[in-house]
Amino acid sequence: MADMPSRALVLYGDGLANFVDSSHVHLHSLASKASCGFLSLPNAPPSETEDERIVREFALLMDSWDAAYKGTNNASTPSISDRFMGMKAAIVTKNPSLKSFGVKLGFTLLPSDDVSSDSMGLELMKLLGFQQGNVADTNQFDLVFVHMGAGEREGGDKDDFGAKTVAFIDSLVAAIMNAAQPGSAIGSRLHLSLVMSYGSVSEINSAETSVLISNNELNPKLLGLFPRQSYTMRGEQPRPDVRHNGPMLVAQLQYAVTRMDKAQVFAFKDFKEVCLLLLWF
């Protein structure tokens, strides 16, 4: 319900967008019910390492860009709790650099044990105060952020790891959606976000993931009124470092709160068509 505080769960597939395919029916089911779109990223700094990219892109998600490039002992970095009225936040990740940065931002580190998707789903819901179909008056955390993918592979084939991780996320989404049915107490209070990124710039197909919109894709009657898109601006000033391809893909769902877009699958093409549809009308 919109008049009650939401509790948020963010599932972040870092560098896994290319591994989503037609077999991941629960990801696509979520997209068909959710508000879908892009999160544009800035160009990567020269010679950026994979760990640096992981931290930087997480910092962008948390709107903590400046904190990512300050000294680790800088006491002026505001915590999540300070910024958001006492919000209690936790993070699950196997990446050491992200663990350190998460602590810097005030996240509580949770164990990242290898468990089944059903077990993880139950535990995540319990942390948010959702259990056995009920919403507890008190909850351990208001936000739980789960990072999976890049920086977690320990040997083995990269493609095999990516495919298996997306399959796990697909099953995890199924478990969560099953617990948060429309009209249920949990469904009205859980704000679920699924984020998938493309990872390193070297992994991105620029032509197939361009967010630029050509004149042919726009309503010709509106060409003269077409403004700068918000992702290219910071305040009133154009952003000088915008990357026009390989954005993060985001689907957000809270029943009776988020809008339902026209996307039918969790894919770049569908999300871009949603954006074009909004521009046409």
Q: Is residue 89 part of a domain?
A: yes
b/e burial code for range 67-79 (CB count within 10 A of at least 16 → b): bbeeeeeeeebeb
**pLDDT for 32-78, tens place per residue?**
999 998 888 888 888 899 999 999 999 999 988 776 665 445 556 78
Counting the structural domains of the chain, the total is 1
Rg for the chain, CA atoms, rounded: 19
* Look-up of token digits 């509580």: 108
Q: Is residue 32 part of a domain?
A: yes
Q: Is residue 1 part of a domain?
A: no
Confidence (pLDDT) at 74: 54
**pLDDT for 70-111, tens place per residue?**
544 555 678 899 999 999 999 999 999 999 999 999 999 999
Domain that holds residue 108: 7-280
* Look-up of token digits 């992994």: 203
Instruction: Please give the structure tokens belonging to residue 217.
Output: 């894709």
pTM for this prediction: 0.89
CATH number at residue 61: 3.40.720.10
Residue 275 CA: distances (Å) to CA of 29, 36, 280: 19, 9, 9
Question: Who's near 244: CB < 8 A, 6+ residues apart?
Answer: 40, 210, 211, 212
Q: Is residue 82 part of a domain?
A: yes
What is the C-alpha to C-alpha distance for residues 124 and 115, in angstroms, rounded to an integer?
Answer: 12
The DSSP bridge partners found for residue 35 are 252
Q: Is residue 105 part of a domain?
A: yes
Residues of the chain with pLDDT under 70: 1-3, 67-76, 151, 203, 205, 212-233, 275-281
Q: 36, 270 in Cβ contact below 8 A?
A: yes
Q: 199, 14 in Cβ contact below 8 A?
A: yes
Q: Is residue 79 part of a domain?
A: yes
Q: Is residue 185 part of a domain?
A: yes
What is the C-alpha to C-alpha distance for residues 6 and 10, in angstroms, rounded to an integer?
Answer: 13
